[in-house]
Amino acid sequence: MIKRLFLLGFLGVVSAACATKQDVSRLETTMLEEIRDMADRQDAILAQLGMAFDSLGTQGRRDLAGRGELQRQFDSLGDQIAQVMALVSQNNQLLNELQAGRSTTAVVPIPGGGEVTGAGGRDEPSLFYGAAQEQFRRGSYATARSGFEDFLANYPDDDLAPDAQYFLAETYAAESDAVRALQEYARVLELYPESRRAPTALYKSGMLELERGNTGEARRFFERVELGYPDSPEAELARDQLSKLRS
């Protein structure tokens, strides 16, 4: 947990290091705003922790001395506060450098025109996808959606493209936008029918239709999973749903 803020700051930089400058600007701006907001909240929390720590004073330490584990935890709290404060400072410095355009990351050309920024030899598509995934895990679905859309625009043939398309659909499903989710799940089948995400997209589509009361449509999705991907884990789930619908 202590290193989480630094990770978010790193991901903010990564998001600017994985695609063309023009394509990444929208995602970068949104992520910077969210990271700054989190940094402000942590600053306030840390200030409160620091005051609480100081208020215990010397007498509090004497009272705790001899209580073994409590003393160790008390001292550890002080170390953790110092570490997090240092990470907040590092995070703010990274953000300031990013906004001021002082990044020292090298810019290299990409086939077909444009440019990407290298990141220590790392795989740029993976880093860009990872930044979008982190936003999805945090529940920042709009930001994640922008990241997945930009990833697909820049790397439509990458091995991670089916995953990006699938999680693009998932951002809409998480926001209870069934219509858009179904459209994006359909794109998984259209663009990446042989991927591991294809049967999952079909099954999720069936479940969405089931939740909307469209049992006929749901049945057709489950049947497509069973017939088209019989050896997939989703096929067994689809068979269970079909059994329930027939009962």
Each residue of 96-111: pLDDT tens digit?
Answer: 544 554 343 333 332 3
Q: How far is Cα 69 from Cα 51, in angstroms, rounded to an integer?
A: 22
3-state helix, strand, coil in the chain (%, to 5): 75, 0, 20
Give yes or no for residue 18 having a pLDDT over 80.
no
Does this model's pTM top 0.85? My answer is no
pLDDT value of position 132: 95
Q: Which tokens sit at 101?
A: 């355009």
> Which is more confidently placed, 27 or 208?
208
From 22-36, 49-63, 141-155, the region with the lowest mean pLDDT: 49-63
Percent above pLDDT 90 for the chain: 49
Which letter does DSSP use for residue 3 in this model?
A: T
Averaged pLDDT, 48-53:
56
26, burial (CB in 10 Å: exposed 0-12, middle 13-18, buried 19+):
middle
Of 30-39, 59-68, 123-132, highest mean pLDDT: 123-132
Q: Average pLDDT over the chain, rounded to whole?
A: 73
> Which is more confidently placed, 3 or 55?
55
**Measuring CA to CA, which residue among 164, 212, 173, 227 is closest to residue 191?**
164
The 10s digit of each residue's pLDDT in 184-221 is: 999 999 999 999 999 999 999 999 999 999 999 999 99
pLDDT value of position 10: 39
Give yes or no for residue 115 having a pLDDT over 70.
no
Q: How far is Cα 87 from Cα 94, in angstroms, rounded to an integer?
A: 10
pLDDT value of position 181: 98
pLDDT value of position 156: 96
Task: Give 5's pLDDT tier (boundaries 50, 70, 90).
Answer: very low
φ/ψ (deg, to 5) at 232:
-80, 155
